[in-house]
Amino acid sequence: MHEAQKLHVETFRRPALHTVCAPGRAELLGNHTDYNHGWVMALAVDKAITWAVSPRSDHRVELVSTAFPGRVRFNVEDLAKDPEAPWADYVKGLLLELRRAGVAFAGFNAAIHGTIPLGAGLSSSAALLVATALSVRKLFPYTLTEAGVGAIPERDERGELPRPTAAEKLAIAKVCQAAENRFVGVNCGLLDYLSSLFGRADHIVILDFLTLTADWTPLPHEVAVVICPSGVQHALVGGEYNDRRRHCEAAARALGVASLREVDVAGLEAERGRLAARDYACARHVVGENDRVTRGSALLRAGDVAGFGQLLFASHLSSRDDFQNSCPELDALVECARGHAACLGARLTGGGFGGATLNLVWRREASEFQQHLAAGYRQATGRELESWVCQAVDGAG
């Protein structure tokens, strides 16, 4: 029995009616491009948040999690933040957005178990939001129109609720983003939710944030993706993330474009004089990332994994020097990775300011690489490293 189901039985004295799982994500290439309407290559990873849920006959919600002590209890009519249990604010924020969309729901019990390391830049919060949205969908079936309005879903010929379509997944991602933007206060883009929903086993998902479409390319089997959590917590809520976003938007305004998607590397250089120094540096990162994703997907499709790996190193330097969303621990991990012959590329993954690095290494030497990195990281920072070879898995839903 899954941990979440066990916890449900222990806490609520009966089995859960549904189990819903949403994976975390790793950003392979394309950093801070999502809210600039650019491109990202990502994976849904084999670490997830699982909900075991059952309906209640009243309007109360009870949440219990293996990661936090105690139970969180609230009424669906009273979705106020609670400083005692900030993790539950994500659930409440999501419920508020569903209500705003016109989705009807009542109370429920949920037991939650996660394997995504918290604060490691692997989007545990996005997985929590996606799992909430899909759990509510199971308990109180709804669909969302393209305009984000709740409606009664069609059933299949056996009367069952079909899996969400691509359009529904996109609408769910937007509801999750609204919850994080409005209720939690981080102006993040759609990357984390779309990766958790559109990931595909053994594939990289390539997301286009202007057209809001997904494409997939196989992850070459001869390479492994090694994730290295630095142990330094990222501080998205602390305002650094929103600050970088403001610089990008200021750069787009100064260039007279709707978003940095419309600018290429040469175009940015030509207009450099029109931009304030920080706006330019942030724009250079984003425009460079878009260029690297475009070149990178072509290289991968042509089988040039070594060429692709070089773009990961370039991405990290751009984060470190231009966007300034790295930190000494992430830099130490990347430098140490660069010193191992099996490493094709390494970079910080996700928002930055702590979190994890992502390393592309020859699969047959992955475990030797992990040992090399653990020793190097201990020497450089005194910290222990628990890296893992991540598998790309199917998205939620």
Q: Which of residues 377-396 bind ligand GLA (CB under 6 A)?
A: none
Give the CA distances from residue 25 to residues 44, 77, 155, 382, in Å, rounded to whole numbers and listed in that order.
4, 32, 30, 27
| Min CB(27)–ligand GLA separation in Å | 5
Cβ atoms within 10 A of the Cβ of 5, count?
17
Per CB under 6 A, the segment of 72-80, 186-194, 265-273, 384-392 that binds ligand GLA is 186-194
Bridging pattern class, strands 68-75 and 18-29? unpaired
Which residue from 189, 231, 296, 309 is in contact with ligand GLA, where contact means CB under 6 A? 189
Ranges assigned E (strand) in the chain: 18-29, 39-55, 60-65, 68-75, 108-114, 143-144, 150-151, 203-208, 213-218, 223-229, 343-349, 356-362, 388-390
Which residue from 53, 94, 110, 191 is in contact with ligand GLA, where contact means CB under 6 A? 191
Task: Indicate the residue among 168 and 192 with the shorter CB distance to ligand GLA.
Answer: 192
Q: What span, in angstroms and rounded, lies between the C-alpha atoms of 309 and 217?
A: 16
14-53 footprint of ligand GLA as x/- string (CB under 6 A)? -------------x---xx-xx------------------
Token readout for 269 is 């250089």
Task: Indicate the residue among 112 and 286 with the shorter CB distance to ligand GLA.
Answer: 286
Which residues are paired to 52 by β-bridges? Answer: 19, 111
Per CB under 6 A, the segment of 14-22, 103-111, 128-136, 188-196 that binds ligand GLA is 188-196
82 catalytic residue (yes or no): no
Q: What span, in angstroms and rounded, lies between the C-alpha atoms of 115 and 129?
A: 15
Exactly one of 34, 89, 192, 331 is catalytic; which is it?
Answer: 192
Burial class of residue 78 in the structure, from the number of CB atoms within 10 Å of its CB (0-12 exposed, 13-18 middle, 19+ buried): exposed
| Min CB(130)–ligand GLA separation in Å | 13
Task: Indicate the residue among 334 and 342 with the shorter CB distance to ligand GLA.
Answer: 334
Instruction: For residue 248, give the 3-state DSSP assignment.
Output: helix
Task: Indicate the residue among 143 and 230 with the shorter CB distance to ligand GLA.
Answer: 230
| Min CB(301)–ligand GLA separation in Å | 22
57-76 footprint of ligand GLA as x/- string (CB under 6 A)? --------------------
Tokens 């569903």, residue located: 98
Size of the site for ligand GLA (CB under 6 A): 12
Task: Indicate the residue among 58 and 243 with the shorter CB distance to ligand GLA.
Answer: 243
Q: Which of residues 308-367 bind ligand GLA (CB under 6 A)?
A: 350-351
Establish if 192 lies at the interface with ligand GLA (CB under 6 A).
Answer: yes
Q: Which of residues 243-302 bind ligand GLA (CB under 6 A)?
A: none
Q: What span, in angstroms and rounded, lies between the C-alpha atoms of 390 and 124?
A: 15
| Min CB(205)–ligand GLA separation in Å | 14
CB contact set of 125 (below 8 Å; sequence gap of 6+): 90, 180, 184, 192
Tokens 């309007």, residue located: 59
| 8 A C-beta contact, residue 260 and residue 210 | no
Q: Which of residues 224-243 bind ligand GLA (CB under 6 A)?
A: none
Burial class of residue 58 in the structure, from the number of CB atoms within 10 Å of its CB (0-12 exposed, 13-18 middle, 19+ buried): exposed
Q: Which of residues 85-144 bind ligand GLA (CB under 6 A)?
A: 123
Ranges assigned E (strand) in 1-56: 18-29, 39-55
CB contact set of 70 (below 8 Å; sequence gap of 6+): 64, 85
DSSP state of 186: -
CA nearest neighbour of 386 among 346, 333, 338: 333
| Min CB(85)–ligand GLA separation in Å | 21
| Min CB(349)–ligand GLA separation in Å | 8
Q: Which active-site residues does the annotation give? A: 192
Residues of the shown chain interacting with ligand GLA in the complex, contacts defined by CB under 6 A: 27, 31-32, 34-35, 123, 188-189, 191-192, 350-351
